[in-house]
A and B are shown apart, each in its own frame.
Chain A
Amino acid sequence: MTPLQHEYLLALFGAYTGLFIIMFGFMYRMLQKSRKLDHDVKLLKDEWLGQSEAPMESDDADSSVMPTVRGHGMQDA
């Protein structure tokens, strides 16, 4: 094998390494998204359960209420 061939094969190895690093990068993002979704769902469930267990002080409390979660970057009113 000539030195040029060896360098060419090393370059190919580098290219395929890049391909798999990108693949694992996608997996990392998928894991991040899963965590965020799990966290948000838990938060919404807790808030919803908290609302339905809260004591009813008026007639309004019996009406359906959508759960609210403050999104990222949103300021308090």
Chain B
Amino acid sequence: MRRVFAKDWWIWTVLPVMLIALYFDFVGSPNDAQLGASARILYFHIGSASVAGIAFTVTAIASIGYLIQRTVVWDIWAAASAEIGTVFTTMILVSGTIWGRVAWGAWWTWDPRLTATLILWIIFAGYLLLREWSDNFERRATYSAIIALIAYVDVPIDYMTIRWWRSIHPVIFTNQGINMPVSMQIPMFLSMGAMTLVFIVWMAVRMRLMRAELGVGDLKNAIRAHIEGQ
């Protein structure tokens, strides 16, 4: 146990950073004039959204990389990032529905932003299911790369929905600046930064496990080839 903590000490430094950010989000930030204390959910919500955006962008870039070079490392990057992006999209949907109940009086509404986010979550859930069900590595990597690229089209659409269509979802980042007082921007950016760090360490850990699992697969194939060659 001590070895895991000692060798990967840098991973564990992110946890206190995240907890400090959470403290500022929930306890150290001011109440919103209209929404009161419930506005604090937004910090977590926006942080999750920014990480999901980064994660799916990494997935799309890695998928293009795989389709061009056909190397395993691109597939690992894409899969690990898609998994984490899907978890953070789940956090967006959960925190968003809780906030929506307080702000709009409804758990869910078929608003363009909410619908686009739900579609994104469904496509990437399908992506992860495809990866679980397929045994053929090359076919799985190719199909999942194509699905990831199709799904990624929804990411910029999701971001722009509240600017292109009429939506009840608040717009924080506008052409005129950030639509939020400075006292609320600090916990928001702190949350975004801490969650990005969580994404980085999670990627490192998940990719290491995927590489280890790949090592087992490679060894199995080598033994099988050796036996068949006898």
Q: Given contacts A38-B215, A66-B223, are A33 and B209 in contact (CB under 8 A)?
A: yes
Q: Given contacts A9-B27, A9-B37, A64-B227, are A44 and B22 in contact (CB under 8 A)?
A: no
A28-64 vs B, CB cutoff 8 Å, 1 = contact: the mask equals: 1011111101101100110010000000000000011
- Give the chain A neighbours of B23 by CB distance below 8 A: 13
- Give the chain A neighbours of B15 by CB distance below 8 A: 20-21, 24
- Give the chain A neighbours of B45 by CB distance below 8 A: none
Q: Are A10 and B27 in contact (CB under 8 A)?
A: yes
Q: Given contacts A9-B37, A31-B205, are A37 and B223 in contact (CB under 8 A)?
A: no
- Give the chain B neighbours of A67 by CB distance below 8 A: 223
Stretch at the interface among B4-12, B101-109, B128-136, B164-172: B4-12
Q: Which residue of B lies closest to A42 (CB)?
A: B215
CB of A61 to closest CB in B, whole Å: 12
Please classify the interface of chain B as helix (H, G, I), strand (E, B), loop, or mixed, using the class held by over half of its residues.
helix
Measured CA separation A21–B44 after assembly (Å): 16
Q: How large is the interface on B (under 10, 10 to 19, 20 to 34, 35 or more residues)?
A: 20 to 34
Q: How many residues of A contact B (CB 8 A)?
A: 33
Q: Are B27 and A38 in contact (CB under 8 A)?
A: no
- Give the chain A neighbours of B219 by CB distance below 8 A: 41, 44-45
Q: Are B4 and A32 in contact (CB under 8 A)?
A: yes
8 Å CB contact of A64 from B18, B27, B201, B226: B226
**What 9 A-B pairs have minimum CB-CB distances, sorted nearest first?**
A37-B212, A13-B26, A64-B230, A34-B212, A41-B215, A34-B209, A64-B227, A27-B205, A34-B208
Between A and B, 12 residue pairs with Cβ closer than 8 Å are A1-B31, A6-B27, A9-B40, A16-B22, A27-B205, A28-B4, A31-B4, A31-B11, A31-B208, A35-B3, A37-B209, A38-B215
- Give the B-binding residues of A (Cβ under 8 A): 1, 5-6, 8-10, 12-13, 16-17, 20-21, 23-24, 27-28, 30-35, 37-38, 40-41, 44-45, 48, 63-64, 66-67
